[in-house]
Amino acid sequence: MNTKLRYASLGLLAVVGLYTGLWAYFSPTNWYANFPGLGLSWLPQLGPYNEHLAKDAGAMFLALAMLTLITLRSVRNTRLVQTTGAVWLLFNVLHFLYHVQHLDMYNTRDQVLNVVFLAALVLLAAVLLVPVLPGRRDDTR
């Protein structure tokens, strides 16, 4: 894996964490009613609104974003990059598995978008577990 791919994966995961986390934590009612945005709304179908749960989800996404931003500053540190990837991968795999079991409540477009976006997040995290190619400088401090 090269550094540019690490930057891209970490950058996209940081954006997801910040976008979701800031919105869910600081405007939980609006987040619940309108997530993921762009005219789509995927949360009301999953059950009643719960402010505590929405704010906890926001806090968790913000924590993931913080870890990811720290890792972006040390992108050559394979141990840190792989740890961040493993944390995101665990969350994204479990999140993906839940949602693919509950697609029946969505129309076809939203089913496809759910699977595509959540699978992309799994792949972005998995890419971070790939070690640096031999012959490349790697700072594990």
Domain boundaries, the chain: 3-127
Q: Tell me, what's the pLDDT at 141? A: 45
What pLDDT digit, counting tens, does each position of 23-35 carry?
999 999 999 999 9
Residue 3 pLDDT class (50, 70, 90 cuts): confident
Q: What is the pLDDT of residue 131?
A: 83
Per-residue pLDDT tens digits for 79-135:
999 999 999 999 999 999 999 999 999 999 999 999 999 999 999 999 999 987 665
Chain segment 39-73, per-residue pLDDT in tens? 999 999 999 999 999 999 999 999 999 999 999 99
Say what the pLDDT of residue 62 is.
98
- What is the model's pLDDT at position 123? 98
Mention every residue, 6+ apart, whose C-beta is less than 8 A from residue 107. Answer: none
Q: For position 90, what pLDDT does the model report?
A: 98
Dist CA 60 CA 21 (whole Å): 7
Cα separation, 118 vs 62, whole angstroms: 18
Rounded to whole angstroms, how far apart are CA atoms 35 and 33?
Answer: 6
Contact yes or no for 106/114 (Cβ under 8 A): yes
pLDDT score, position 25: 98
pLDDT score for 101: 97
